[in-house]
Amino acid sequence: MELVRFNKPYGVLSQFTPEGRWQGLRDYLDLPGFYAAGRLDADSEGLLLLTSNGALQAHIADPRHKMEKTYWAQVEGIPSAQALQQLAQGVLLNDGPTRPARARLLPAEPPLAPRNPPIRQRQHIPTAWLELVIREGRNRQVRRMTAAVGHPTLRLVRVAIGPYQLGDLAPGAWARAD
């Protein structure tokens, strides 16, 4: 076993050691010699790959390999076709323009486990779910992209990294990926 898929819950860091109010991976996994291949912010959920193979870890995490990452983002408001086009063309952020992305409105709320704690709901502001596929991984990039087009992200779930899918893994669960 060289590669593991893990469904990282909200509030868990992409490292084994907890820090402050955030839990670490060791609260969920007992896999000596395994390390995260890439990062996922503590306030984001979903697929995190872990491996015991240093070369594989470098390949997955290295932006030069441009492995696609697919995210489902619950955003405030209903994005227009123009907002989706902006995301697809690339958005200007404070650290420069993003690469073009694939962006689409999901037809319905995806079948995800409820988040703990739940997102904040505003009574008179609707939400929508977007699918964003990017080939780079800047700090908080998806959140910054959706905010730049006027739709702040309320919940963010990574569902795929290249060919590896989150699938039906429950939050906090892991399975072999290789």
- Mean pLDDT (the chain, rounded): 92
Q: What is the mean pLDDT of residues 148-152?
A: 97
- Give every CB contact of residue 89 below 8 A, 6+ residues apart in sequence: 100
Q: Is the pLDDT of residue 155 over 90?
A: yes
Give the pLDDT confidence score for residue 1 in this predicted structure: 67
- The domain made up of 3-63+163-176 has a fold known as Alpha-Beta Plaits (3.30.70)
* Architecture label for domain 68-161: 2-Layer Sandwich (3.30)
Q: Is the pLDDT of residue 175 over 80?
A: yes
- Structure pTM? 0.94
Q: Which helix (H) or strand (E) holds 83?
A: helix 81-89
Q: Which of 27, 41, 43, 168 is catalytic?
A: 41
Q: Is the pLDDT of residue 64 over 80?
A: no
**Residue 138: pLDDT band by 50, 70, 90 thresholds?**
confident
Lowest mean pLDDT among 28-32, 65-69, 103-107, 125-129: 65-69
Q: Does the annotation mark 41 as catalytic?
A: yes
Q: Provide the residue count of the chain.
A: 178
Give the pLDDT confidence score for residue 178 in this predicted structure: 66
105-110 long-range contacts, CB within 8 A, separation 24+: 105/78, 105/79, 105/129, 105/130, 106/72, 106/130, 106/131, 109/74, 110/72, 110/157, 110/159
Q: What is the mean pLDDT of residues 49-55?
A: 90
Displacement of CA 54 from its chain's centroid (Å): 22
**Residue 108: pLDDT band by 50, 70, 90 thresholds?**
very high
Give the pLDDT confidence score for residue 85 in this predicted structure: 97
Q: How far from 114 is each of 31, 51, 109, CA to CA, in Å?
A: 26, 27, 11
Q: Domains of the chain: which residue ranges?
A: 3-63+163-176, 68-161
What percent of the chain has a predicted confidence (pLDDT) above 90?
Answer: 79
Q: How far is the C-alpha of 152 from the C-alpha of 154, rounded, in Å?
A: 6
128 and 74 in contact (C-beta within 8 Å)? yes
Shared fold status for 3-63+163-176 and 68-161 = yes
169 and 9 in contact (C-beta within 8 Å)? no
Q: What is the mean pLDDT of residues 88-95?
A: 94
